[in-house]
Chain A
Amino acid sequence: MDAAVVLPKLLALAWLLPLASFTLIVFFGPRMGHAGVRAGQVATGAILIGCLISLYALFFVWLPYSHAFETPAEEAHAAAAPDHPAATGDEHADASHGDADHADAAHGAEGHAAASHHAPIIKPIAGDWYALGEFGSLRITIGYYIDSLTVLMFSMVTFIATCIHFYANGYMHDELHDVVDHEVKLANGHHLHRPGRFHRFFQYLSLFCFSMLGIVIAGNIAMIFVFWELVGICSYFLIGFYIERKSASNAANKAFIVNRIGDFGMIIGLMALFGSLGTFAFGDLTREVDGKEVTEPGLFSLVRSEANHHHLVVPDGMVKAAAADEIAAGAEPTAEKIAEWRGETEPKQVGRYAYWLLVVAGLGIFCGCVGKSAQFPLHVWLPDAMEGPTPVSALVHSATMVAAGVYLVGRFFPVFVPEVLLVIAITGCITLFLAATIAITATDIKRVLAYSTVSQLGYMMLALGVGGWVAGMFHLITHAFFKSLLFMCSGSVIHACHTNDMMKMGGLRKKMPWTAYTMLAGCLAIMGAGVPFSIGLSGHYSKDAILAQAYSFKDSNPSFGFLFYVAALGAVITAFYMFRLWFLTFAGEPRDHHIYDHAHESPKIMYYPLVVLAVFAVGVGWSTTDFSWFGLHHLFGEFGVRELLDQAQPVGTLEPTHGVLLENLKYPSEHDSHLDKYHITAELVAFGTAISGFLLALAMYDYRILSAAEVRAHFGPIYQLLIHKWYFDEIYNALFVQPTLFLGRRVAQFDKQVIDGLIDRLAWMTRGVAHLDDLIDRYFIDGLVNLTASCTYGVGIWFRGAETGKLRQYVMFIVVATVSLFFLVSLILAGGP
């Protein structure tokens, strides 16, 4: 079985199934059973089959494919480095990371102890399914770029989406009959009464999954952009699902508009890339042109070409674009000249421009990710997105929308230069701290989770930004599982209590044990609970990896040490607000007995997915090497999410690098973070922060040693700042919304007075002309026509006298007429020639 042929087909099938379900529901949704109840089953079935296909692709196609690379690649390496003939193989077998000593001279940069990565390079499967059009050098295609990240994301997205689909079948059952929306008051004082929209919900859910999978599989950045926008519009539909509620439609608009801001930056990035490099594709594409096979390099190999040992070098296209002035002045862009311009020799001016172009491209792409992944300063839309139904929140916050941004940063990682990575890290750092602090004071159960999501996304960006590609993507995967679990648990609580306010809950553990204990698993996972150096929940591994990477980055760049400290502080806050949420909701005494008495455990279709996700939230971070005492790795080899991600690590990004514009900015290899000096510290810090946050929450909200009200009174100004979400909405309102509205009002006024006045005058003139026209029409044209008519009438009346009806008279007429005609003709003939 050739994976390069089978994988694209399998994944395309898994990708297109939700589209088929969407199409079906669009056309036949309302007729699918009573109130469209079958639409839920169609959508769930489509994504379930997609999930099974993805898992099959992962385990039975991708794994054999990737294993095939391991042996020959090592042999090749052993041949290439004859100095260490025996050592190489052994060191790989025990997966030690001490192979820094046999650094390839070409890879080593600036005397760094380059921990060059000798893991086999697994060739990604790239290609095009279909070319939409070709305009000069621009080829718009539907293509694919499949590496283990793609396959892993496919499995994760479809799996979580499947759980959410099942859950939504239970959660949305209110929509199966007419709905009275108690949050919408009509002008006549009644509540809104509307038909249920069950099928429409699943229709959008299917389209959402399709769009997200499209981003994951996309083989070029243009295709990503298309599906990027599709995800945006789906989130718009779903956040605004209760469109009659003012808050919901506002939130949908907010999400859409804020995302547009990010996407504008993304378009700039796209233009910078395409304008200088002339391609959108990620991987190298081989296709037939005029009967010859041509291999066109993709973005990744343009930026990190094999000739440069996969080291990031400003590509020729960008150098040429930067040297446009010199070329216009007559300089021939030869290879030597380009090398000179690139800045390898003096003067550095052009090289600097070219490098800036790469920075702009990276920042532009990251801009799109800031919008989509709700990073500071565009994080404001995500908490408002809570207006959508809870399954949507679960989907948006874990597997789809926000994951797309982090995924794109991960996908584009090889193109980001150190300066861009630093921006990403700082953005992530600010985001994680801001959001975590806001989450402390929020009382809406879903908002706590929303800010928690923003904060965790900040962690991912931070991890990617400090060079921890595997750490960031690993956290993306583990977070997807526990965050979808947490959201669905909160949905279950809301379903039972009909309120989002945690202050009205409490003690629900006894009423809904399944929800309570699955949520506890989720809280422990996000907190990163675990025993240091042995075993833990999924969050334990990913958070450790992030902290270790940040710590190792701090070691190389002491001036950016705050990235590590903020991340550690964020870990305390994370543990605190998550357990604050859990204690307020499930522990203690019920605070609102009316709600407590009516609360009940959710139906099975809702809590079964919770259990499944809880199992994964606990165990998705494990790999077989964690159970080496059990011998699992002998049985299955080294297998786990981390190992899969290791395979997908973009080629060349493991090399230590340093900035060009910021020459002191040094990026250590990600492998360095596994060194004991970083790893042990990070693990202890992670454990300590998680425990301290947990204990603080325990003291304040369970044992009540510390009174929350007292703390609040003590830190009044800070509390005010946090409860107002750092005044972001107010600032944006004052800075952007109000000026826009002001401008809008002025423009409206101008419109009303000047444009409308002009139009009115024109209309008045037209009316006058029309009036004149009417007069002419009525008296002149009509008069002529009427005159003709009356003449004809008069003649008719006159001739009428001749029609006496008397036969004999007619005969006389005939005779007289004939005779006179005879005379007339004779006369004319006689008078003629």
Chain B
Amino acid sequence: MNLLTQPVGVSHYLIVGAIMFVAGVVCMATKRNALGVLMGIELVLNGANVNFVAFGSVYLRPEVTGIGLDGQLVALFVIVLAAAEAAVALAITLNFYNNHSTVDVDQADELKG
């Protein structure tokens, strides 16, 4: 099965989502800047969102019953969560900066066991 010749379906969305997810994870794991890490988190979340939307869409999956808004609803929920999380995380970062005059996450090892 060649994806490139197929009509756009769930698999394509999943691939995009997976790429976004992996990019996000890599971003989180490699960035030393706290803001970069936050961005990675956004990518991860939105990668998951793409999956939700794809799985929930009546267009992509005709076997889905109902009006097909389940995925969208969950995606919306995740977006709201992400916004809240971003607000909190930015506040933490700001505080961290105030205390350490840096946003380098490697400097934040006070929770070391």
Contacts and interface: CB of A to CB of B under 8 A. Distances in A.
Nearest to A816: B29
A806 interface: yes
Interface in A723-761: none
B48 to A, nearest CB: 13
A799 B28 CA distance: 23
Interface string A782-823: 000000000000000001111111111001100100000000
Contacts of A804: 109, 112-113
Interface string B6-28: 00000000000000000001001
B108 interface: yes
Interface residues of B, number: 15
A803 B105 contact: no
A805 B110 CA distance: 6
Contacts of B25: 811, 815
B4 interface: no
Given A806-B106, A807-B108, A812 B113 contact: no
B109 A806 contact: yes
A805 B111 contact: yes
A805 B32 contact: no
B37 interface: yes
Contact of B29 (A801, A803, A815): A815
B30 interface: yes
A808 B112 contact: no
Contacts of A807: 37, 105-106, 108
Contact of A805 (B28, B29, B30, B109): B109
Contacts of B110: 805
B25 to A, nearest CB: 5
A803 B111 contact: yes
A801 B113 CA distance: 7
Nearest to A815: B25
Contact of A808 (B32, B111, B113): B32
B34 to A, nearest CB: 8
Contacts of B29: 808, 811-812, 815
Contacts of A800: 113
Nearest to B34: A807
A203 B113 CA distance: 78
A803 B112 contact: yes
B33 to A, nearest CB: 11
Contact of B105 (A799, A801, A806, A812): A806
Given A805-B111, A808-B31, A815-B25, 7 more contacts: A803-B112, A804-B109, A805-B113, A808-B29, A808-B30, A808-B106, A811-B25
Interface of B: 25, 28-32, 37, 105-106, 108-113
Interface of A: 799-808, 811-812, 815
29 contacts: A799-B113, A801-B113, A802-B113, A803-B112, A803-B113, A804-B109, A804-B112, A804-B113, A805-B108, A805-B109, A805-B110, A805-B111, A805-B112, A805-B113, A806-B105, A806-B106, A806-B109, A806-B112, A807-B37, A807-B105, A807-B106, A807-B108, A808-B32, A808-B105, A808-B106, A811-B25, A811-B29, A815-B25, A815-B29
For the complex of A and B, the 9 pairs showing the least CB-CB separation, nearest first, are A803-B113, A805-B112, A805-B109, A800-B113, A805-B111, A807-B105, A811-B29, A811-B28, A812-B29
